[in-house]
């Protein structure tokens, strides 16, 4: 059985035209920030070039994931308490400072510690930005709004890694500078032009009440479990995928081009795909997208030419385009209004766990048996799809 969230079916074009101005500011700031995401896609190459082992580099990326983990809880709490805008600005300004500190870090322990701080500060904004988007638009606009948000993010990501790849060929230091400057830019945009969004001022709310409510929602819990499976695979992009591309004899610039292919596809195709998926029940759409995301990475071990590697990127990008706008809208729909920031924080938490666990486990498997790694990616795809397809008695449709 399906239940529509609204009585009107709105087209993507109509929803785009009806977006409030504050949503466009959020999209623009997200573009600036994402364009400058220079360091993380190249961190594993930066560390291995500076003499650290693959396992050490994977551990350092896992430290970023641990910071991401803290940010998912703290960011969701702050988004509900001090406002979405203030949380975004705090994240961006502290991220810029942490990024410059990482550029000067020497010694493995110091690098790991500062990478943790970078992960915490850089990712603090995510629950707030997702919750703010949910605040700004009507329920029937949400799938389109999350599609536009991803469009802005990937428009930046399409140019960012390619630019970063050429900068890295000259000096990795400029990656840190560019990352910090764009974070500062987004922080200024947030303070000047974004609204606070909703804030919860319920003094009587018990500690952890939002978490208790969320964990009692079977739909949300299984959705989070499915998301965790796919994130473990997705974060191979900046770790084992980078190492595999390098092992096939391709340069950092070529790797940057492959990653930018992901962003370019999303820019060109995602809104068209969203116009098709937004009238469907969310769980089958999310399941299909999650499976294709994992399948693309599973096929990596069979790719030995640049064209074949690009084809695997096409497969996992297709999965991402199908699932991501629907997943963000679905999480927003399930969240009670007063807990929206923390519900989105739990969704970000799954990405945090994927970032914290995926690269270390992936690099360990890659170093000892690469075939095992790519096979595990395929298995996780089947599991994530099965979890996403688990359906309670009442299903929802997001338009």
Render pLDDT for 129-166 as a digit per residue (tens, 0 to 9).
988 998 888 888 888 888 889 888 878 876 776 777 77
Average pLDDT score over residue span 364-370: 89
Residue 9 domain-assigned?
no
Average pLDDT of the chain, as a whole number: 84
266 and 321 in contact (C-beta within 8 Å)?
yes
Tokens of residue 68, six digits: 């991401």
**Of residues 279 and 188, more confidently modeled:** 188
Residue 14 domain-assigned?
no
Using only the alpha carbons of the chain, give its radius of gyration: 20
What CATH number should be reported for the domain holding residue 272?
1.20.1250.20
25 and 194 in contact (C-beta within 8 Å)?
yes
State how far the Cα of 394 lies from the Cα of 152, in Å rounded to an integer.
33
Q: Tell me how many domains the chain contains.
A: 1
The residues facing 4 across adjacent strands are 397
Residue 240 domain-assigned?
yes
99 and 176 in contact (C-beta within 8 Å)?
yes
Confidence of residue 250 (pLDDT cuts 50, 70, 90): confident
Residue 16 domain-assigned?
no
Report pTM.
Answer: 0.73
Q: What is the pLDDT of residue 338?
A: 74
39 and 92 in contact (C-beta within 8 Å)?
no
Q: What is the pLDDT of residue 203?
A: 47
Say which range, 195-204, 245-254, 273-282, has the weakest mean pLDDT. 195-204
Residue closest to 244 by CA, chosen among 265, 258, 261, 262: 258
Does the pLDDT of residue 1 top 80, yes or no?
no
Does the pLDDT of residue 328 top 70, yes or no?
yes
Confidence of residue 71 (pLDDT cuts 50, 70, 90): confident
Residue 3 domain-assigned?
no
**Of residues 196 and 394, more confidently modeled:** 196
Residue 150 domain-assigned?
yes
Residue 5 domain-assigned?
no
Confidence of residue 392 (pLDDT cuts 50, 70, 90): low
State how far the Cα of 148 lies from the Cα of 82, in Å rounded to an integer.
26
State how far the Cα of 140 lies from the Cα of 79, in Å rounded to an integer.
23
Written as one string, the DSSP assignment of 247-266 is HTT--HHHHHHHHHHHHHHH
Residue 225 domain-assigned?
yes
Q: What is the pLDDT of residue 202?
A: 54
Tokens of residue 48, six digits: 């291995």
84 and 135 in contact (C-beta within 8 Å)?
yes
Does the pLDDT of residue 6 top 70, yes or no?
no
- Whole domain around residue 126: which residue ranges? 24-200+210-397
Confidence of residue 274 (pLDDT cuts 50, 70, 90): confident
Place of tokens 């807990």: 339
Q: What is the pLDDT of residue 288?
A: 96
Q: What is the pLDDT of residue 2?
A: 40
State how far the Cα of 235 lies from the Cα of 97, in Å rounded to an integer.
24
């Amino acid at each position: 059985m399906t239940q529509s969230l609204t009585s009107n079916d709105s087209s993507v074009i109509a929803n785009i035209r009806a977006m409030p101005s504050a949503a466009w500011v959020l999209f623009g700031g997200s573009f600036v920030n994402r364009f400058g995401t220079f360091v993380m896609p190249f961190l594993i190459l930066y560390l291995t070039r500076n003499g650290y082992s693959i396992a050490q580099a994977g551990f350092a990326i896992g430290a970023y994931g641990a910071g991401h983990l803290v940010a998912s809880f703290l960011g969701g709490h702050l988004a509900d308490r001090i406002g979405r805008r203030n949380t975004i600005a705090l994240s961006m300004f502290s991220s810029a400072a942490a990024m410059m500190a990482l550029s000067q870090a020497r010694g493995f322990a110091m690098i790991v510690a500062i990478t943790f701080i970078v992960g915490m500060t850089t990712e603090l904004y995510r629950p707030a930005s997702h919750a703010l988007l949910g605040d700004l638009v009507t329920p029937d606009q949400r799938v389109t709004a999350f599609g536009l948000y991803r469009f802005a993010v990937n428009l930046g990501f399409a140019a960012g890694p390619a630019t970063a790849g050429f900068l890295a060929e000259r000096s990795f230091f400029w990656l840190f500078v560019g990352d910090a400057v764009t974070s500062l830019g987004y922080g200024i945009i947030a303070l000047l032009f974004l609204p606070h969004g909703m804030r919860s001022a319920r003094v009587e709310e018990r500690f952890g009440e939002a978490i208790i409510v969320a964990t009692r929602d079977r739909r949300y819990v299984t959705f989070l479990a499915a998301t965790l499976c796919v994130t473990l695979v997705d974060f191979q992009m900046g770790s084992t995928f980078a190492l595999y591309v390098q092992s096939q004899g391709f340069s950092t610039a070529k790797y940057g081009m492959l990653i930018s292919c992901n962003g370019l596809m999303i820019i060109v195709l995602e809104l068209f795909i969203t116009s098709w998926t937004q009238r469907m029940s969310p769980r089958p759409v999310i399941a299909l997208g999650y499976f294709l995301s994992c399948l693309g990475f599973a096929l990596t071990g069979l790719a030995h030419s640049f064209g074949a590697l690009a084809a695997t990127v096409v497969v996992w990008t297709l999965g991402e385009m199908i699932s991501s706008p629907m997943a963000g809208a679905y999480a927003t729909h399930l969240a009670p209004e007063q807990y929206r920031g923390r519900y989105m924080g739990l969704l970000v938490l799954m990405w945090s766990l994927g970032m914290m666990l995926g690269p270390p486990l992936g690099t360990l498997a890659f170093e000892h048996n690469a075939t095992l790694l790519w096979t595990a990616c395929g298995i996780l795809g089947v599991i994530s799809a099965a979890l996403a397809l688990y359906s309670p008695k009442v299903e929802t449709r997001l338009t």
